[in-house]
Amino acid sequence: MKSEFTPPIGKISEIDGKCISLIGNDIDTDRIIPARFLKCVDFNSLGESVFKDDRETLEGRHPFDLEVNKNAKILIVNSNFGCGSSREHAPQALMRWGIKAIIGESFADIFYSNCIAIGIPCFTLPKKTIEDIQKYNDGKSLFLEIDLKNSLAKSKYFNLNLAIKESSRNMFLSGEWDATSALLENENLIENKFNSLPYFEFNANCF
């Protein structure tokens, strides 16, 4: 079960969607996307294999297989999420399943950086708040509206003051996280710089 994948681009100031809760501390990247799927030549098929081993063990009872969580966009996790291997495939798999933001107690540093690099904001909340959200979300559909500018998540029933690194928040609001779009927007500057470098001077006799 997965959502249709649309990659994020440019500035990100708001994210809304249904929540999916995944309970457990120290959920590592090998659980998020098992190592045998790392041989892929691109990331497009990874969404189908996210949490593959855990899902097979639970035989349809894993949160990522439950009908109530279909098309969820906001993942609620506990502490040290994304620990272990630094593989970028882990956030790529989550994003291709449909996840657009993650709220947790804490994140492994490299996993956090890999998420920021592809446009997935990672927010933190206290342990008790996360557990309360997960209990509330158990078997029910919880919809959140995330406002990055004010670091706020709103639902029909409550508001949450989210924590996110100021540098990360500014990158999303400015679009600086999106290196590809930044390069395309500055194509003329890049070409001018390229042409000004003497060691890149074009020589037709070389071809």
More confident residue, 185 or 20: 20
Residue extents of the structural domains in the chain: 14-177
Distance between CA atoms of 155 and 136, rounded to whole angstroms? Answer: 12
Question: Which superfamily does 14-177 belong to?
Answer: Aconitase, domain 4 (3.20.19.10)
**Backbone conformation region of residue 22, classed left if phi is above 0, alpha if psi is from -120 to 50, else beta:** beta
* Cα–Cα nearest to 160, from 190, 130, 194: 130
Q: Residue 68: pLDDT band by 50, 70, 90 thresholds?
A: very high
Helices (H), the chain: 29-32, 52-58, 89-97, 109-118, 127-137, 166-174, 179-185, 187-196
Residue 16 clears pLDDT 80, i.e. is over it: yes
Residue 105 has what pLDDT? 98
For tokens 């799927």, what's the residue?
Answer: 37
Q: Residue 38: pLDDT band by 50, 70, 90 thresholds?
A: confident
- Identify the DSSP state of 4: P
Which residues are bridge partners to 146 per DSSP?
15, 153
Residue 7 clears pLDDT 50, i.e. is over it: yes
Please state the rounded mean pLDDT for residues 17-29.
Answer: 97
Per-residue pLDDT reduced to its tens digit, 147-198: 999 999 999 888 999 999 999 999 999 999 987 766 656 567 656 666 777 7
What pTM was estimated for this model as a whole?
0.86
% of residues, the chain, pLDDT over 90: 71
